[in-house]
Amino acid sequence: MVRKIFSILIGIISISHSYTSFASYTSSLETEKFIITINVLCSEGEVTCDDVVYTGIRKKDSATLTLKGKTLNKNCKTGTCNLYGYEFINRGTTYTIYLDGILEITQGNKLLLSEIGKWNSQ
């Protein structure tokens, strides 16, 4: 009997942990040259996130690029930790997307592209 109750409790605990609450969300940004989808996949309550997926489609030829990245936050040492954008790195090229809709693509210190787009929440 005790074994059966113990097994049931372990099962309930396992199930409750497998349904951890997630604060994931998806947003898309459209610029002159790109349609970009940002998927943020974080456990609820995380202030910063290293599990962000960028999917960019170049309008000119429909080429697609998918990258894993992170959120960009400021003032984390003071306790506010405000989100201000996302960063994705691909072979020395950095794709930065700011919340004000600016897409910047840089390689080292060289700015390759800067475009302003419009966010569409999904």
Q: Which tops the pLDDT comparison, 23 or 15?
A: 23
Mean pLDDT calculated for residue range 28-53: 92
Neighbours of 107 (CB within 10 A): 11
Q: List the one residue out of 65, 56, 21, 57 whose CA is nearest residue 41.
A: 21
Average pLDDT estimate for 26-39: 96
Q: Which of 24-28, 65-69, 75-79 has the highest mean pLDDT?
A: 65-69
Using pLDDT thresholds of 50, 70 and 90, give the confidence band for residue 18. very low
Least Cα distance to 51 among 14, 29, 23 occurs for 23
Q: Which pTM was predicted? A: 0.77
More confident of the two residues 10 and 117: 117
Sequence ranges of the domains in the chain:
25-121
Bridge partners of residue 80, in order along the sequence: none
